[in-house]
Amino acid sequence: MKFRFGSPVLDTAVRLLTPFILLFAAYVVAHGHYSPGGGFQGGVILAAALILVNLVHGRDVRWGLRPSTSLSIAAAGLALYVGIGFLAIAFGGTFLDYGALPLGLPPPQVRAVGTFGIEVGVGMAVMGVMVLLFDALMAWEQSR
């Protein structure tokens, strides 16, 4: 069963929409401190953009993510999260104590920077896992 639609309407709509979706996802992750949003929501929207392209163009789309790549991104996000925790230990604090990072800013700002790093890690992990789930469920069909 072919699931590449190829209709010009879908193709054009996806080409127009995808950059804005990606930009909005980056905005949601970065602006999570000041408005509703943060790592989870941004990661899910990022995954939705990639799934959209994958749905319309099929699996051989040129800039899609292979399952190994999305798994690596998910693992990198998790490693970023744990890495920031251990970095806090290396600078004399306890695990995940962002106040111990030597950034030379007033304490709330240091914690805000640590939180932002964590949110990016969570966003990467969530995005990787969602794209991985979709790829795994779709790909099983093609291997029959």
Partner 1 sequence: MIAPLDVFFLLLVLVSGIAALAARDLLAGVIAFSAFSLFAAMLFASLGALDVAFTEAAVGAAITTVLFVTVIFRTERTAAPTARRAGRLPAAAAGVACVVAGAALLKGVTGLPAVGDPDSPSSRHVSPRYIERGPAETGAPNMVTGVLADYRGYDTLGETVVIFTGGLACLLILGRTRPPAERR
Partner 2 sequence: MEHAIHVLATLLLLVGLHGMLTRRHLMRKLMAMNLLQVAVIVFFIALAAKSGAQPPITAVGDAAPRAHDYVNPLPHALMLTAIVVGVATNGVALALLIRIHRRYGTLDEPDVILGMRE
Contact stretch for partner 2 (CB under 8 A) within 72-80, 83-91, 94-102, 126-134: 126-134
Question: Which of positions 90-109 make contact with partner 1 (CB under 8 A)?
Answer: 96, 98, 107-109
As a whole number of Å, the CA-based R_g of the chain is 18
* Distances 14 to 27, 83, 102, 128, 140 between C-alpha atoms, Å: 20, 36, 44, 21, 25
If phi > 0 it is left, if psi is from -120 to 50 it is alpha, else beta; for residue 96 that is left
Q: Does residue 12 belong to the site contacting partner 1 (CB under 8 A)?
A: no
* CB of 111 vs partner 2, minimal distance in Å: 16
Q: What amino acid is encoded at 55 in this protein?
A: L
Q: List contacts with partner 1 (CB under 8 A).
A: 1, 3, 32-41, 44-45, 47-48, 51, 55, 67, 71, 74-75, 77-78, 81-82, 85, 96, 98, 107-112, 114-115, 118-119, 121-122, 125-126, 128-130, 132-143
